[in-house]
Amino acid sequence: MQEFSQLGRTPVLGFGRSYVCFHHAIRMLFNSPEFAFVFFPAVYLLFRFLARFKRTWMVNSLLVGASLAFYAYWMPSALILLLGSILFNYFCGLRILAATQAGNSARGWVALGVIGDLALLSVFKYAGFFAQSVNDVFGLGIPVPHIFLPIGISFFTFTQIAFLVDAAAGKVKNCHFLEYLLFVTYFPHLIAGPILHHGEMMPQFATPETYRVRGEVIAAGAALVAMGLLKKVVLSDGIQPYAALLFDHEYAAPNAIVSWMGAIAYSLQLYFDFSGYSDMAVGISLLFGVRLPFNFNSPYKSVNIVEFWRRWHISLSSFLRDYLYIALGGNRRGKARRYFNLVLTMVLGGLWHGAAWTFVVWGALHGAYLMVNHAWKAAKDGVLKPLAPLFATRGYAVLAWLVTMAAVIVAWVFFRATSVEIALGIVRGMAGANGLGSLADYGRCDYLQACVDAPAVGGLRQIGITLLLGFIAVALPNSITISKYVSERFAGVRDAMSWRAAALVGASVPICVFAVLLTSARGVSEFIYFNF
């Protein structure tokens, strides 16, 4: 995926991406040698030592210090901003708790906190986008600010907004600063999620039992880290050149085969990249005894868009549902208002990913998909109810899956393309406007408009690899299933160093070392969602 940090690129007709400035510090990725061989082993050894004392404040202090060091290693200049955001929200949270416990209204403090969070996000993430859009629409010359984008700002902002809203709703009884600080900064999730919920996390940080790591937890954590690394380094990075052929080298007039296969390749690249990161985040956290929520549940098995959003980026879709869609009225004010709320929620969800019209279109498409999904469900339950036996057949399920995946893949084109114009050109190719083409066209350098840097990959081999990764995403067990299986197999193993736990850890470590060394040899590639 092209870096958002490329300054000086002018959006086409106001529909391109608004570029913001990323601070180019040395980055400690989960798949980097710095993290795997230095940072994590040092922190984990200290953790195991302090956990023996069964004092949560000692372990929490270590994890806070490690998390702040992890963030500062990425972006030292943004650490002050992160801490300022935490102090501001914690203060608002205390005032909200005091008001609710006294039986007074806390709306003013909630409004102050949420507006402050959104203002911070708007300045650092959207100021340049809005200025450029106004210039394009009205032909003005407003200076476009190039403001550095703090890493993880979208994630820690949403995490804290949810806390403030729930505090006002009486769902937060108390809030100790050290636990709140760890809740926001906890390094496995800080950079790219999942978006955490205080109700799931803060009780864990307050319980000494959390840090008494057991055999099944060690085993599941090690397996998830190894699986996540393989997803990222082997599968996602492996198929990335195939997607780049379509999106980065920009076919002059891509035919249907080239357009569909390139779009499918990106859909798989994004899934294995983001789910790989999420697996590693959950696995690393499990090694400390802390359970993070899973963010993916085989989304490409979905047979409708509603199901897709129950399986894809689960923490974000849950946040959008609970704190935006329901707050707007949900489905309580009639069908028209329900559809409006769906589209608005998804458009804002698109903007959450980035300041660009491509993300707006992506969100609007998913809003439209959800409208169609709900309308179709109403029709099946109403006028089409006599056809219920047909809807229960395997053939209908396959057709529903194909339609759902086609819709998702078309939307991913806008998510990935650097401008709406380029995305529309690819979609026209997918519709056959430039001919069907042949399988051999997929990856042929002479078919490209600009092929100087095109990797040496070729048609049929690419087709086979793309289809293989599609089979893995759709047919094989996912991380939730595998971790559940491992936990059940190791249930009752109280000793973290039992032979069974040690055997699985021993099998996982070489896989992790291999993946990290392979990454180091290629050059460490960032996770796509680090840009959001």
Q: How confident is the model over 314-347, as pLDDT tens digits?
A: 999 999 999 999 999 988 888 899 999 999 999 9
Average model confidence (pLDDT) across the chain:
84
Residue where the block lists tokens 């299986």 = 485
Nearest to 3 by CA among 19, 23, 14: 19
pLDDT of residue 18: 46
pLDDT of residue 489: 66
- Residue 35 per-residue DSSP state: I
pLDDT of residue 193: 81
| Inter-residue contact 99 to 75 (CB < 8 Å) | no
| Inter-residue contact 245 to 454 (CB < 8 Å) | yes
Q: How confident is the model over 495-522, as pLDDT tens digits?
A: 444 545 555 555 565 666 665 665 555 5
**Percentage of the chain with pLDDT > 90?**
55
pLDDT of residue 449: 38
| Inter-residue contact 469 to 239 (CB < 8 Å) | yes
For residue 349, pLDDT beyond 80: yes
Give the whole-angstrom CA distance, residue 449 versus residue 443.
12
pLDDT of residue 45: 94
Range scoring the smallest mean pLDDT among 23-27, 37-41, 151-155, 408-412: 23-27
| Inter-residue contact 245 to 448 (CB < 8 Å) | yes
pLDDT of residue 11: 36
Q: How confident is the model over 96-138, as pLDDT tens digits?
A: 999 999 889 999 999 999 999 999 999 988 888 888 888 877 7
For residue 8, pLDDT beyond 60: no
3-state secondary structure at position 16: strand
Q: How confident is the model over 414-455, as pLDDT tens digits?
A: 999 999 999 999 999 999 998 887 766 665 544 333 333 444
Residue where the block lists tokens 């309308």 = 375
pLDDT of residue 280: 94
Average pLDDT over residues 485-489: 70
Position 3 confidence tier, pLDDT thresholds 50, 70, 90: very low
pLDDT of residue 2: 33
> What amino acid occupies position 292?
L
pLDDT of residue 515: 58
Q: Which residues contact 112 (CB under 8 A, 6 or more apart)?
A: 92
Give the whole-angstrom CA distance, residue 11 versus residue 9.
6
For residue 20, pLDDT beyond 60: no
The string over 337-375, giving b where at least 16 C-beta atoms fall within 10 Å of a residue's C-beta and e elsewhere, is ebbbbbbbbbbbbbbbbbbbbbbbbbbbbbbbbbbebbe
Range scoring the smallest mean pLDDT among 166-175, 210-219, 440-449: 440-449
Active-site annotation holds for 353: yes
Q: How confident is the model over 44-86, as pLDDT tens digits?
A: 999 999 999 989 999 999 999 999 999 998 788 889 999 999 9
Average pLDDT over residues 208-216: 83
Average pLDDT over residues 15-26: 47
Q: Is the peptide bond before 299 cis (omega within 30 degrees of 0)?
A: no
Euclidean distance between the first and the last CA atom of the chain, given in angstroms as a whole number: 12
Catalytic pick among 197, 313, 353, 374: 353
- Per the structure block, which two tokens stand in for 184? 């926001």
Average pLDDT over residues 272-288: 94
Nearest to 213 by CA among 291, 292, 289, 286: 289
Give the whole-angstrom CA distance, residue 245 versus residue 135.
32
Question: CB-side exposure of 450: number of CA atoms within 13 Å?
Answer: 6
For residue 490, pLDDT beyond 70: no
Residue where the block lists tokens 């009752």 = 492
For residue 158, pLDDT beyond 80: yes
